[in-house]
Structures are given as structure tokens and as C-alpha cells.
Structure 1
Amino acid sequence: MAVSNKNIHADHRERLHRRFLENGFRGLAGHEALEYMLTFSIPRKDVNPLAHRLIDHFGDFCRVLEASEAELQEVEGVGPATARLLAMVMEASRYYQHTRSAAPRTFEKMEQIAEFVVPLFHGVRVEQVYALYFDDRNSLIKWGRLAEGGSNESAVSPRALAQRAVRLGATQVVLAHNHPGGLALPSQADLDFTASVGRVLYPLGIRLLDHIIVDSEGDYLSMEQTRRLPELGFGR
């Protein structure tokens, strides 16, 4: 008596599910972890070949999850729903990490600010720039992403940043951006951009507290702590 492919796939999925329940993703190889995730968007098809195609295309499990929806759909067999599911995993991970380090009402140390911004760049493969706006009691008023693709004046307008700080009633600003492909060391462009922001903020009575650079491993450099911030008369 022949056994249907449907039963074979169902049995295989059930085995994957049991292994996941016993040890989580730790008990699965990279392609198996992908295969298990794909069963939630492709419920009635053998997804093992697709899991292998994804690994072959991107290189490893981590890079699959770091890919954008558009990049994922370049792989044969990945439709919009599957691409959305896979891309959402990393976004959920970023949200989880950032929520765990939710901002206190008032920051007492620069290290607390660094701990707040580092999760924003978890798994991000493109350069992004954020600004955090504080009052004179070191309370965070607002924060948000300024640009994607670079930390320079062509990507971020220092004047627009300053205007927003004024509208918010901020007296202090912290910049943060990532180096997804390198070390957390400021380039000359980073230093020039930081100086230009400081020069625009200074006449308005707004202090540039720090510029934090984060690498792909989650290590960071504080320009304030390494004395790379421009000296504009506020004193430290």
C-alpha cells in the first residue's frame, strides 16, 4: 500500500515540532529551523527544498533573517506572506530587546543611554541614524530615527534636527548610528557631521551630549567618553 506524500510531510513536520518543543531552535540545524518556521506560512507543502535554497542564497541562517522582504522574494518559492514572516522575526527580536531596556524617566549615566540605543541596531544591515532629545533634567522627551544610509549632512540636516529640538523644548541631544560592516570607530565623515550638528545646536543653547557608534556585534563607542566631541564651550 502506497504512503501519500501528504502523510510523509505531516509526519516530518510533527517530528520537527516535537524536537522544537524539547530543545527549541537549539536542537535544530539552520536549515531545519528555517523549515520549521516556513511551515507556518506554507502549511501544505514540503518546505525542505525552500529552506535549503534560502541558506544557499544568503549563506547562513542569520543572513536569511537579516534580509529584507524584497531580498527574500528574490528566492524561488518565497511569496509575500513568507517574506513578511521571515523579515518580521528580526524586527520582533529588535522590539523585544528594546522593550526590555525601555527608557527610564531620567538617565543618570551615559552608559544607560548606550544601553538604550544599542538594541535599536540589532541585526540591522544598513547604516541608520537616531537622535534622542532630553530636557535639562536628563529626562528623555522623544527619540526617533533620522535617516537610513549614512551619518552625514547629505543624509541628515543638522538644521532640521535643531529645529525639532527647539520644538520639543529639548536642551540636550544625543546622536547614535551604527557601523554594520565595520568597527565602532568614528570615520572622518562621522567626526565632521558631529561637529556640524554641535555648531548648529550651540547658539540655541542646546548641548550635544554624545554621539554613540554601534557595530554589528553590539559593541559601542561613546564620542563623549573618548573625548571626540567638538569643544563648544559647554564644558564637561
Structure 2
Amino acid sequence: MTGILYLIPVPLGPTAPQESLPANVLTVIHPLTHFVVEQAKTARAFLKAAGTAKPLQELLLEELNEHTKDAALDRLLEPLRAGHDVGLLSEAGCPAVADPGANLVALAQKENIRVVPLIGPSSLLLALMASGLNGQRFAFQGYLPAKEADRSKTLRELEAESRKRMQTQLFIETPYRNRAMFDAILQACQPATRLTVATDLTLPGESVITKTIAQWKKQTPPEIERRPTVFLLLA
């Protein structure tokens, strides 16, 4: 029999796993000896805090990130084929959502390997919950284009789609470009469009604020530079 691929959520920032993860997630982690992670260093710090039955140096950690070649993915399934349960970790939040782990999950599904998602913090759902925007119809757009002209064009297209379908649009940005994204939204979108800026979710500095574009233009910009942020639009 093949092993089980557990999708293990990770805190969204520097907090103890016991503060943001259910007890049953820590129970699943404890006996595991095989993990697929984005970065081994940060994964070891998380696993040390979460607690494992075996010493960290005896655990097998394989990296899967944006540098991993497609040809290397098949090898990551070998422990599962041999009957070992494997934990898949993202750097933060839920694995396989805006995360290269999705490629491994796809392969596991093709081979009928059981995939078990575990409960934990998702910045996207937390931001949507607190936004006051449409939670019945929404779409996550990932990262928008980095070039200014392309980004503005995409923002106008997302706003038009939101207006047509009454659909909340969610997207993220590399933290050091958050302010540039915020300014681009104010320039590209219509005054009545609502914008939510959700920052440092589950962390001490957490902030989730929804205002119209017109209202945002009248106040001091939020302090979001280099802080994990989710942007949400509803026209």
C-alpha cells in the first residue's frame, strides 16, 4: 500500500504552531519522518517547534520550490510509493495554494495516492471573511504583472469582471512591492470600487480595512511595505 500525503498548514508568521494550528495537526506531524518542503532551514525550525517523534537530523526533508524541475517531481513520490506517509509544507499558510506543492499533489492524485488536507490558517479565506465583500462568488488571481502598464491593464480587467459578475477579486504581491500595488490600484480603479487591504493576518499587527477607492485616496496610505498583505476588490 502507498503512504498518505498530508498537506500540513504552517503559521502565517513567527508564532508558535500551538497558537494557530489545531491539536490534531500536531498529532499528525509528530510521527512523520518524511517531508517535502519549500526551504529545509525554515521547515526544520517549524518542525522543531511543532514536535517530532524522531530527532530533526533523522528526518528526511526534500525541497520543492520554484527552482524544482518538473523531472524531479516524480522522485519526491518515492517514499509514498514505498508506503511512508509524507508531510507537505509550504513556507506559510496552506500548501498547494499559490504554492509549488500543487504540482506534487497533482502527481499524487494521478497515482491514486491518498491526499489529506489538514486544517490551518489561510490568508486568503481569513481576508475574505473579514472584508465584508462578496463571499458567495470570488476568484484568487495570484500575483499580478510586475510591469506598471501590464499591472494597470490587469487591474482594470479584474475590476470590469468584478462589476459584471459581482465577484470579489483576491490577489497578492511580493511584500516589498505592496505600496506600489496599492498606489496602482488607486490609479486604475473607479471611485466606488471597494478595496480591502488585509495585512499581517493572525499576527499581532493584524489589520483588515475595507474602503472605497475614493475613501482610500483621502487618507494616509496603510503601512504595508514588507508586510504580508492580501488585496481584495469588489466593483
TM-score normalised by length of structure 1:
0.39
Question: Higher RCO, 1 or 2 (CA under 8 Å, sep at least 6)?
Answer: 2
Instruction: Give the number of the structure whose residues are more often strand, by fraction.
Output: 2
Higher Cα Rg, which structure: 1
